[in-house]
């Protein structure tokens, strides 16, 4: 059964998901000797933990709680989808943050387990053998594999700033070839999504986002690094629906990036009340006041960090007392200003007649006006709604 996007009834959706999971379960497993449940259990998680995790992911994907058992079943068949993970120009931080945890989360265990077919950081093969493995995977799983790419793609000097392997193949050609036969393409992290620090002015290597080297749709999962839940959730969404999700104007899945950090922030009441940290360590900082004046870019940044958090869900930057740096926005290195300083009205004065967010925040007590001012430009810039793509 294919999913009719005009039929929003949950019964129909439930049946369609069920059917898709059954179809996937008939495909060969990537590893015959283990299962995702086994790996999760061996790492000290109980079935209760797993179901709790599945419940959280179900809510994150905006599905009703009755879908939780289906989401749990879906993740059990995730090892039927071959994944090819490429590294372009980057620091490997996205992979590392997922994998090098002392106490891996269920998301990272799942990711570790399913990233089997080709992942340069994880696989044992090197040199010629690695190149053969990649070519073999692309050929064997043509039209079926999911391509995940970490890093920007240098195009400067005809792409010669990034060559990989014994044959000195250019990164741009490797990415384009792998994209050509992929079933779905995810740009993981801000470098792959938008170019990242490599593409910051003056961009000496001519780095570009992955979407510039393929004509196929690319789902951007930005962040520096992106949350593991957004990576696994994007995969699960594809697994359940069999189509690409609804996207915002920057091709980010709307289920994860549709709201601003500012809209979901636990310090928001202080912003609205005009209560700001004036400098790190002051009384306002001790009282958990808003971090806008010490550089928080949450009003301009779309992501779900306050919901997902980091380090096994323990905290996130704003909770820890340091403002958001805007890492999931395009060109944040160039456009988000100095770390630790507010953007003031630099970005928005043309939009709001000179009443920039900081100017307003400095003056008011109850700052409904400020919230509106900050919101106007951000929403105007990126609230364009993209329909789901096939
Ligand atoms: S400016 Fe930053 S700290 Fe203040 S409410 Fe918005 S997101 Fe939270
Ligand atoms: S809080 Fe801001 S800077 Fe930090 S990870 Fe989230 S979007 Fe990026």
User: If we measure between CA atoms, which residue out of 186, 138, 144 comes closest to residue 23?
Assistant: 144
What CATH number is given for 10-256 in this structure?
3.40.50.700
User: If we measure between CA atoms, which residue out of 258, 122, 94, 261 comes closest to residue 192?
Assistant: 94
Q: Which residues contact 31 (CB under 8 A, 6 or more apart)?
A: 79, 113, 116
Same fold, 10-256 and 261-382: no
Ligand 2 touching residue 94 (CB < 6 A): no
pTM: 0.85
Ligand 2 touching residue 325 (CB < 6 A): yes
Q: Does residue 69 contact residue 63 with C-beta atoms inside 8 Å?
A: no
Q: Does residue 79 contact residue 34 with C-beta atoms inside 8 Å?
A: no
- pLDDT single digits (tens) 329-341: 999 999 898 889 8
Tell me how far apart the alpha carbons of residues 123 and 236 are, in angstroms, rounded to a whole number: 23
- pLDDT single digits (tens) 206-227: 999 999 999 999 999 999 999 8
Ligand 2 touching residue 3 (CB < 6 A): no
Residues at CB less than 6 angstroms from ligand 1: 261-262, 265, 267-268, 271, 290-292, 296, 298-299, 318, 323-324
Measured by CA distance, the residue closest to atom 6 of ligand 2 is 305
Instruction: Report the DSSP beta bridge partners of residue 152.
Output: 89
Q: Taking the domains of the chain in order of start, what are their residue ranges?
A: 10-256, 261-382
Tell me how far apart the alpha carbons of residues 50 and 107 are, in angstroms, rounded to a whole number: 10
Measured by CA distance, the residue closest to atom 5 of ligand 1 is 268
Tell me how far apart the alpha carbons of residues 65 and 51 are, in angstroms, rounded to a whole number: 11
Q: Which residues contact 290 (CB under 8 A, 6 or more apart)?
A: 267, 268, 270, 271, 275, 276, 277, 296
Per-residue model confidence (pLDDT) at position 180: 98
- pLDDT single digits (tens) 258-303: 999 999 999 999 999 999 999 999 999 999 999 999 999 999 999 9
Tell me which of 194, 303, 306, 333 to substitute to probe ligand 2's pocket, judged by most ligand atoms within 8 Å of the beta carbon. 303
Per-residue model confidence (pLDDT) at position 383: 41
Tell me how far apart the alpha carbons of residues 298 and 295 are, in angstroms, rounded to a whole number: 9
Ligand 1 atom at minimal distance to the Cα of residue 299: 6
Fold of 261-382: Cytochrome-c3 Hydrogenase; Chain A, domain 2 (4.10.480)
């Amino acid at each position: 059964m294919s999913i009719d996007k005009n039929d929003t009834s949950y019964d129909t959706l439930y049946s369609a998901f069920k059917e898709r999971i059954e179809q996937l379960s008939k495909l060969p497993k990537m590893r015959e000797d283990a299962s995702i449940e086994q790996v999760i259990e061996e790492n000290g998680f109980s079935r209760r933990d797993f179901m709790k995790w599945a419940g959280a992911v179900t809510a994150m994907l905006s599905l009703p709680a009755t879908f939780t058992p289906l989401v749990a079943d879906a993740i059990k068949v995730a090892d039927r989808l071959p994944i090819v993970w490429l590294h372009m120009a980057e620091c490997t931080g996205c992979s590392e943050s997922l994998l090098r945890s002392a106490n891996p989360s269920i998301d990272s265990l799942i990711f570790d387990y399913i990233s089997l077919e080709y992942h340069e950081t994880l696989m044992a093969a090197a040199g010629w053998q690695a190149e053969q493995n990649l070519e073999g995977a692309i050929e064997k799983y043509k039209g079926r594999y999911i391509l995940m790419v970490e890093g920007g793609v240098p195009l400067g000097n005809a792409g010669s700033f990034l060559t990989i392997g014994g044959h000195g193949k250019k990164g741009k050609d490797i990415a384009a070839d792998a994209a050509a036969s992929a079933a779905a393409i995810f740009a993981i992290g801000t470098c792959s999504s938008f170019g990242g620090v490599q593409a910051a002015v003056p961009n000496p290597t001519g780095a570009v986002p992955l979407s510039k080297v393929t004509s196929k749709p690319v789902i951007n999962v930005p962040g520096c690094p992106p949350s593991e839940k957004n990576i696994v959730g994007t995969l699960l969404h594809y697994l359940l629906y069999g189509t690409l999700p609804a996207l915002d104007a920057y091709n980010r899945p709307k289920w994860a990036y549709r709201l601003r950090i500012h809209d979901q922030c636990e310090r928001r009441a202080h912003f609205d009340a005009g209560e700001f940290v004036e400098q790190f360590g002051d009384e306002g900082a001790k009282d958990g006041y808003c971090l806008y004046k010490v550089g928080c870019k949450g009003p301009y940044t779309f992501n779900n960090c306050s919901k997902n958090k980091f380090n096994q869900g323990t905290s996130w930057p704003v909770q820890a007392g340091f403002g958001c740096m805007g890492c999931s926005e395009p060109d944040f290195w160039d456009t988000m200003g100095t770390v630790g300083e507010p953007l003031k009205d630099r970005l928005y004065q043309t939009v709001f007649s000179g009443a920039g967010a900081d100017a307003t925040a400095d003056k008011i007590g109850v700052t409904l006006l400020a919230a509106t001012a900050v919101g106007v430009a951000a929403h105007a810039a990126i609230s364009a709604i993209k329909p789901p793509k096939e």
